[in-house]
Structures are given as C-alpha cells and as structure tokens.
Amino acid sequence: MQRAGVAIRMSMLDAAWAGLLGIMHWKAFLLMIVGIVISSTLVAMPGVGSKTAIALLLPFAFVLEKFEAVALIVSIWAVSNTANSITAIMFSVPGGGGSQATIMDGYPMAQRGEAARALAAAFTASALGGVIGAIVLLAAIPVVRPLVLLMGAPEFFMLTMMGVVMVGSLSGNAPLKGIAVGALGLAISMMGIHSLSGVPRYTFNSIYLFDGIGLVPLTIGLFAIPELIFMASRGQGVSNVELGNLSEGRRQGIKDAFTHWWLVVRSAFVGVWVGIIPGLGSSVADWFAYGHARQTCKGASETFGKGDVRGVIAVDAATNAKEGGALIPTLAFGIPGSSTLALIFGGLLIVGIKPGREILTTQLDVTFSIIWLLIIASIITTLLCLLFTRQLAMATMLRPSILVPVILGMAVLGSFANSNRIDDVVVMMGFGIVGYVLRAGGWPRPPLLLGVVLGPLAENFLWTSFQVYGFGFLARPGALTLMVVLVVIVAYPSLMRRWYASRNSRDPKEVN
Amino acid sequence: MSYLPRSSLLTLTLLVIFGYVVFEATGKPMQAKLFPMAVGILGFVLISIQLGRELWTAWTTDDTKPGEKINQQDGAADFAITDVELSRIGRLRAAEQFGWIAGLLAGLFLIGFYIAVPLMVGLYLWRHQERPRFVLIMTVGAAAVVWGLFNQLLNLPFPEGLIQQWLF
C-alpha cells in the first residue's frame, strides 16, 4: 500500500517535471510569449476579449506539437485578466468581463493621481491570484468532484441570487436601491427568445432583441459613456492631480498587494470557488470578491468606491485565481465553465488531448504543463505590465479633448465587435444614457450589470428547481442555508451601522 | 415642497418598468413567466417602498433648511458627482457630449464606420482647438486602426453607410 502511494507520488512528480520541461522548450516558451503579448494587447481594448484572441490563433494549433499548442492557447487565456484592468483603472472602460469591479476603486485612484499605484497593485495581485489559483487547481483535482456534485439546482439558484443581492446591498445607506437595480438587470436579461420555451419576451417585435441584449455593449455603455460625459463636463482629464513620483507609486502598489496578503488569499479563494461552478465565470468573480472585501475589510464602508487600493487588490486577485478554479471542471469532468474555456477545450482536442479521465491519468504531464503555464504566464505578464506602468499612468493626464474621441471611438468599435451588428452600437449608446441617468440620480450601476449576467443562469436553475421540487425547493437544507447567508449579507451592513451609531452616541471618547 | 420631487421621476419610471414586466408575463406559459413574475413582483415591491420613502422624505423635509435636503448620492455604490458636473457649464458640456454621441451614431448609419469614426476624432479635436498637425495625425491614426486592426486583422465586417449604398 505504502509502495503504491510512493509510486503515485513519483509519477505525479515525473508528470510535473515533464510538464515543466515541455513548456520550457524554446519553441513552446516563444509561443507562450507570443500568446502573452497578443493577449495583453487585444484584451486591453474594450469588447475584444481573450475569446477573440484564442479564436484568431486557434487555427495555428493544427500545425503545432502538444506542448506548443498548450503554451500558445493557455497563455492567451491565462493572462487576459491582467491586461483587462488597464483601461478599467485609467478610463473607467472595462476591458472585458472580470474588470468591471476594478473600476469601482481603480478609477477613483487614477482620478486622484494614483494610477501607477492602482495599476501596480492590480498587476501584482493578479499574479499572486494566478499562482494561488494554479496551486488550488493542483490540490483540488482529487477532492473537488464530490463538493460540486453535492449542490443541486436550488443551491445554484440561491447562489446566483446571492451574487445579485450581495452587490446590491453594497449600496451604502440605500441597499433597497441597489437590490432594485439588480432586479432591473435580471429583467433586462429576460429580453429575447426564452431558451426553454421558445417564447419571445420583451422583444417589442424587434428581430435584434430576439437574441437579447449583448453584455459587451451594455457594459461599455453603462460605464464608459457616462464617464466620458462627466469627464468632458468637468473639463479635465481622468486626473488633474500631479502624478508625483511614478516609480514610488509603482513600488507602493506592489507593496500594497503584499501588505494585504490575507485579502489576496481570501479573494483568490473566492475567485477559485466561483470559477469551479460552471457558468458563473469571469463577470461574477470580480463582484463576489469586491463584495467580500467591502464587507470584511476594516473601514471599507467609508473608503470603498472612493479609491481604496484594497478594492483593486481583491478584484484582481479573484479574477486571475478564478481561471485555476474554472479549469477544474473543464479538465476533471470535461465540462467547460465558459465559452472561452469551450474554445480552449476545442484547441486541446485539435492536438489530441482529451479533457476528462485521460488528462488526469495518461496525459497528466499536460495537466501539469497547464498549471505551470498559469503560474509562469501570470508572472511574466505582470512583470511586462509593471515595466510599462509609468507610460500607462501618464495617459491619465491627457486632456479630455484627446481622451473623449479616442475612447468614444474605441467604445463604438468594441461594441460592434460583440456580434458584428450596428444595433449593438445603438444599444451601447442607449445604455450610456441609462448609465448617465442612474449615476446622476444616485442609483448604483454595478448591480444592474450583475443582474444581466446572472439572469439566464438564475432562470434555468429556478425552473429546474421548480420542476423537481415545486416551491418546496426553498426548504431544502442547502438552499435554506444559503438563504440565511443572503439575509445576513443584506442585514449585516445596516446592523453594523446601527451598532456603531449607538456605540458612538454612548461613548464618543472611546471611538475617537 | 413639491408633490413629486424631480429625483423621484426615475423611481417612478422604474416602477412602471417593473409593472410592465409583470403585465407582459401574465399571458405566457408557466415556463416562460415564472422568473419574470418573481423578479417583476419583487422589483415592484422594492421600488414602491423606495418611492414611498422618497415621497415621505420630500413631504416632511423643510426645503429652507439646507441640512435637511436629500442627498441624491447618499449611499450609492458608484462614483460621486462633483459640483462642477452639476453646475450650468457642466450641464452644457454634458449636453454637447450627447450631441457628439448622437452625431457619431448618425454618421455610422449615413457614411459608415470607415469615415464616421476618424471624422468624429478629427472634428472633436479640431473643435477643441488642437494643433492642425496633431488633428491630422490622430485622424489618420484612427482610420488606420479602424481599417487595419479591426477590419483587416480582426475581420470585422463594417457595414457601408446609407450614402455609399445610395451612390454606388
């Protein structure tokens, strides 16, 4: 028995070594660098995500060896979250799914002249998150299967609701507004032909709306357009504060990520957990991590949303760690957690690698090469991005007369790239007005976005739960537990505020 | 004091939207209406409470006391609006931006992406008195990005403008 255990450990070590050697071969390594550079450049543009980059390079996989193809495809995907944060922090334009919550504190930091610090903190947290995600992937493969199988549709439904309510309840003194906007997002997600019944809903007889509202134009419209308008109406660029010592800002950002190492670890685990659940994916992990940080960090209710570096660190650690988590169901059960992972899945099949049992037994070296890639590609990307932090940060000082047309042009092109339809540009501009009105009226925009993302999932889980258990699904132990957690999430901030207020009124000296 | 504060117009709009969500769902089969009904009713109730709170605060607040005025940004998990943005000049500038956005959209339909996007970049820079050489470089650069990167490299099939379709 002991000998068998040693043999398995030896074969694991052999596979880990073979995987490392495979991707460190000069050709595979070069392809990894190519993947990193292409991915970092393309995903920094709004609307052009890692999916486009992978789709562009996938045909090359046909002529590549096993490890070379893995190095190219996985590196594109592994580093996309790092570069996504660049435009989110500098111009409040989300580079793609996963960088939306980075805006919340990254952009105010850039406005304050701390773009270098925010970028460096984001890049470093992203690298740390990527490494943690890879380690968790390594450790989790044998144990995660029963955990995921334990959860049924009712629990998944409650989990999606938890996501919307969590972000909605972050609306400070007005959680009601946040949750209501989240419900509006869920309502928007219902537009189009209902996938289960084939019934058109809220389409107003428009053929375009039969496919529903695209997430990319909605996101760009909701966040980028209002910021452009406000930037122009202020008559100044992103930041009018002196940028100061950019090298110092960069050093401080790196230091911040290590100082808040426990937040990085916690957020990375949030990311991994969200990644494991098929379908939740990148657009959710960032908000879950942001919500977690806002509810657990000291003094967060006062500083989050106003440029707290912890808000940036938590989000970026989670979004990169999520990739490790997302690979668990893809590799272990052959279930791609997202459309991008489905593309990677296809790429692996092209070179004869079959996700599922095979990749965990006879092709374990490939699994390890992917884990190594997550670590090495994350670190290389972070180093490259850190090198250019100075130049990136200086872009925030540009005049609005230069920034506005450039960002508006990018927003238009990015929206069109979503599905090659001009209607997407109209939708983007429409949601630009919605975003402007919401922001001007003091209604939070993030819950709307999360509602749109989680709506289809929530509906599927609700219907499955209803079909199997009727309304009794709400009484299942797992669903009940999550419901209690949900109530605590909503009630906790307001209870804490009341508790602090009563303590302050009792003993002002003690508080000061 | 007014019967319906201006800030509550948005709340009222949302109330109508949630009402419509429920209304349209009623005639649908169970499979298609379960989620809309759940979300619509929940949203309607939440917004009704919010509207009630806003109206109550407006009716019981004395406008003459500045400290009692409602702060629209209070509690919003979003970026705060600055005073410049709320000023008359700020609003005028915002209106101008809406004009640019509408103009760009019209341009995309009429003359297509290849011309509209670089033209918008050039005109915007020219309107804000950037140096002519810089305006030219940026306009050509925008055209190169639209055609070279997005069309040639990423294969985005930009549609022709209505004017080109009519002419050729």
Task: Answer yes or no: is pLDDT of A169 > 90.
Answer: no
A68-92 residue pLDDT tens = 888 888 888 877 777 778 878 877 7
Continuous segment of H or E residues that includes residue A192: strand A192-193
Instruction: Note the ipTM here.
Output: 0.87
Please name the residue that has the structure tokens 């109330």. Answer: B15
Which one of A103, A169, A412, A467 makes the best mutation probe of the B interface by having the most chain B beta carbons within 10 Å? Answer: A412
User: Burial level of A104, CB count in 10 A (0-12/13-18/19+)?
Assistant: buried
**Top mean-pLDDT range of A48-52, A75-79, A453-457, B29-33:** B29-33
Distance from CA of B128 to the nearest CA of A (A): 6
Distance from CA of A450 to the nearest CA of B (A): 14
Q: What average pLDDT does chain B have?
A: 84
Burial A438-460 (b: 16+ CB within 10 A, else e): bbbbbbbbbbbbbbbbbbbbbbb
User: Burial level of A265, CB count in 10 A (0-12/13-18/19+)?
Assistant: middle
| Other residues' Cβ atoms within 10 Å of the Cβ of residue A160 | 26
Six-digit token pair at A104?
Answer: 């919340």
A244: CB partners within 8 A, 6+ apart:
A113
Q: Where are the domains of chain B?
A: 8-79, 86-167
| CA A471 vs CA A17, A466, A478: distances in Å | 52, 6, 14
pLDDT at A249: 83
Asked if B76 lies within 8 A of A172 by C-beta distance, the reply is: yes
Task: Answer yes or no: is pLDDT of A1 > 60.
Answer: no
Continuous segment of H or E residues that includes residue A241: none
Please name the residue that has the structure tokens 């949203």. Answer: B43
Six-digit token pair at A484?
Answer: 């209690």
Geometric angle at alpha carbon A411, from A410 and A417, rounded to 5° = 85
**Would you place residue A463 in the very low, low, confident or very high pLDDT band (cuts 50, 70, 90)?**
very high
| Rounded Cα–Cα distance for residues A291 and A158 (Å) | 16
The residues facing A352 across adjacent strands are none
Residues of B in contact with A418 (CB under 8 A): none
Residue span of the structural domain in which A431 resides: 2-238+245-511
Asked if B50 lies within 8 A of A180 by C-beta distance, the reply is: yes
pTM of the model: 0.73
The count of structural domains within chain A is: 1
The residues facing A193 across adjacent strands are A200
**Would you place residue A45 in the very low, low, confident or very high pLDDT band (cuts 50, 70, 90)?**
low
Q: Determine which of A38-42, A440-444, B64-68 has the lowest per-residue pLDDT on average.
A: B64-68
